[in-house]
Amino acid sequence: MEWTRYIDPLLQGCWVTIELTVYSTILGALLAFGAGMGKLSHNPLIKALSVTYIEVFRGTSLLVQLFWLYFALPLLGELIGLDLRFHPVSVGVLALGLNIGAYGAEVVRGAVQAVPRTQYEAAKALNFTRTQTLWRIALPQALPEMMPPFGNLAVQNLKDTALVSLISLGDLAFRAEQLRNLTQDSTTIYTMVLFMYFGMALVLAALMGLLERHVGRWRHRRR
Amino acid sequence: MNEPIIRFEKVVKRFGELTVLDELDFEVAPGEKVTIIGPSGSGKSTVLRVLMTLERINAGVVYVDGEPLWHEPHQGTLKPASEAHLRKMRQKMGMVFQHFNLFPHMTVLRNLTEAPRYVLGLSPQEARQRAEELLELVGLSDKAEAFPSQLSGGQQQRVAIARALAMRPKIMLFDEPTSALDPELVGEVLRVIRSLAEEHELTMLLVTHEMDFARRISDRICFFDQGRILEQGPPEEIFSSPKEQRTREFLHAVLHPEE
């Protein structure tokens, strides 16, 4: 069988994988930001919420989260009289986003805490409020620090999308499995899939690199 | 003497077991230029940091411009100050740090306009005009669009001085402003501080090891030892005829380090 005949179905799968990756990475970034800042909050309730979220999603398997949201949640919804059945894409994005968000939250917290104490002192001496100090002084300096680990997480997330094939989402891994069942041509198909994931990861890493340069422009100025 | 603009009353500051300020009594008159000298660990920088509200005190009362700094009047006594009170009090002071502490992600101009705009509420035009005047004062008009990392240490410290002045403080606190500089860059920073010292209104409190400079610009020198003022007086008195043995030893060690 000609390997070129696999290209079209596999590319369709790639597109779903890309969609899942983009949406869940954006959701994850927002959650990472919220929970990371929440963990630094002086409000005990916000802090407790953030810590609980981070620990629960870092401490349980992504696959189990996925199954729970897809199979268990609708049943739970039935019990309390709510329709909690979601489209597989929504469930995939939600599970992946919640997962990457929990890891990302620690990145955000770490980067904000790594801003030198002297910067906070200078901000205080100029009478900035706590909120102004965070948004105007600390975060712009923390952002470039976050980018390399965020890049790692995004690539990790891309590869984790393969798990959503298990809730019958037609992503790249799902398409590969379908083709393999049909043709038994495992070597060709999985070699192609390997390269496709690798290609997408390269593009993603390059995009994150561009973003990193953009948020850290001021760091490249030297005498 | 006028009502002092700064007054420490039996102020105690401890770091764990270590007592850094030991029932310190200390006053500064409006417009006075005071230099604090003394061995390391004697509490000199802590005095400035307490004033800038970077360090809390454990006991005593600090008055700034007639009001308690770390306290608010409450039913005839004093209670710990609220953040609103601290913000009101901070407005009276500006601080220059040993390591400049400029904001590295902002241009020089934005370092100078950020606080006036968002803390004082100046318009962009007002803030910019104020910043440009101050850059001229410190001789760095051509560096407005540079980032701090593109400047020498001396230039960064001059920007930091301008940044503090942009808030129009009544009191300027200088915490070893030249200690982190290469020797050839010290002069340009001292010249700027000296030009400020000629302003009669501005109260200045300076911690430094530059003894010649302290002698020239100060109205008064305070020698700190073990969290207290051991000896104080006009520069000529302290430098020429110190009364205390500890002061003599310290000055000798600083002025003749090789002996």
Q: What is the CATH number of the domain that holds A143?
A: 1.10.3720.10
The pLDDT score that the predictor gives to residue A168 is 78
Per the DSSP assignment, residues forming a β-bridge with B172 are B94, B204
User: Measured between beta carbons, which residues in chain A are less than 8 angstroms from residue B150?
Assistant: 221-223
Query: For residue range A130-167, what is the model confidence (pLDDT) as tens digits?
Result: 999 999 999 999 999 999 999 999 999 999 999 988 88
Q: Rounded to an integer, what distance in angstroms lies between the CA atom of residue A34 and that of residue A98? A: 12
Portion of chain B with pLDDT greater than 90, in percent: 90
The pLDDT score that the predictor gives to residue B143 is 95
The pLDDT score that the predictor gives to residue A67 is 92
Question: Which residues are CB-contacts of B232 (< 8 A; sequence separation ≥ 6)?
Answer: B220, B221, B222, B223, B238
Question: Of A29-33, A88-92, A212-216, which one has max mean pLDDT?
Answer: A29-33
pLDDT band at B77 (very low <50, low <70, confident <90, very high): confident
CA-based nearest residue in chain B for residue A220: B149
Q: Give me chain A's average pLDDT, please.
A: 91
The pLDDT score that the predictor gives to residue B227 is 92
Strands B93-96 and B171-175: parallel
Q: How many CB pairs under 8 A join A and B?
A: 70
pLDDT band at A221 (very low <50, low <70, confident <90, very high): low
Residue B35 three-state SS:
strand
pLDDT band at B94 (very low <50, low <70, confident <90, very high): very high
The pLDDT score that the predictor gives to residue A215 is 86
CA neighbor of B180 nearest in space, from B251, B109, B105, B96: B96
Q: Does A122 contact chain B (CB < 8 Å)?
A: yes
ipTM of the complex: 0.93
pLDDT band at B151 (very low <50, low <70, confident <90, very high): very high
CA neighbor of B157 nearest in space, from B194, B114, B188: B188
CA-based nearest residue in chain A for residue B119: A128
Tell me whether residues A218 and B147 touch, CB distance under 8 A: yes
Query: For residue range B34-51, what is the model confidence (pLDDT) as tens digits?
Result: 999 999 888 899 999 999
pTM of the model: 0.86
Residues 29-58 of A with CB under 8 A from B: none
Tell me whether residues A122 and B119 touch, CB distance under 8 A: no
CA-based nearest residue in chain A for residue B164: A126
Query: For residue range B106-134, what is the model confidence (pLDDT) as tens digits?
Result: 999 999 999 999 999 999 999 999 999 99
The pLDDT score that the predictor gives to residue B1 is 52
Q: Give me chain B's average pLDDT, please.
A: 94
- How far does Cα A147 stand from its chain's mean position? 13
Query: For residue range B221-235, what is the model confidence (pLDDT) as tens digits?
Result: 999 999 999 999 999
CA neighbor of B70 nearest in space, from B96, B90, B40, B95: B90
Answer yes or no: is pLDDT of B102 > 90: yes
**Domain extent at residue A95:** 4-222
Query: For residue range A43-86, what is the model confidence (pLDDT) as tens digits?
Result: 999 999 999 999 999 999 999 999 999 999 999 988 888 888 88
Q: What is the dihedral of CA A45, A46, A47, A52, to 10 degrees?
A: 90
Answer yes or no: is pLDDT of B2 > 70: no
Mean pLDDT of A96-111: 95
CA neighbor of A210 nearest in space, from A129, A131, A154, A158: A154
Structural domains in chain A (count):
1
Residues B36/B205, Cβ–Cβ less than 8 Å: yes
Residue B114, token pair as written in the block = 């950020």
The pLDDT score that the predictor gives to residue B75 is 86
Identity of the residue in A124, A127, A218 whose CB atom sits nearest the CB atom of B105: A218
Tell me whether residues B101 and A222 touch, CB distance under 8 A: no
The pLDDT score that the predictor gives to residue B40 is 86
Identity of the residue in B52, B104, B114 whose CB atom sits nearest the CB atom of A125: B52
In one-letter notation, the amino acid at residue A130 is R
Tell me whether residues B163 and A126 touch, CB distance under 8 A: yes
Q: Which of B83, B101, B109, B151 to mutate to test the interface with A (most CBs of A within 10 A)?
A: B101
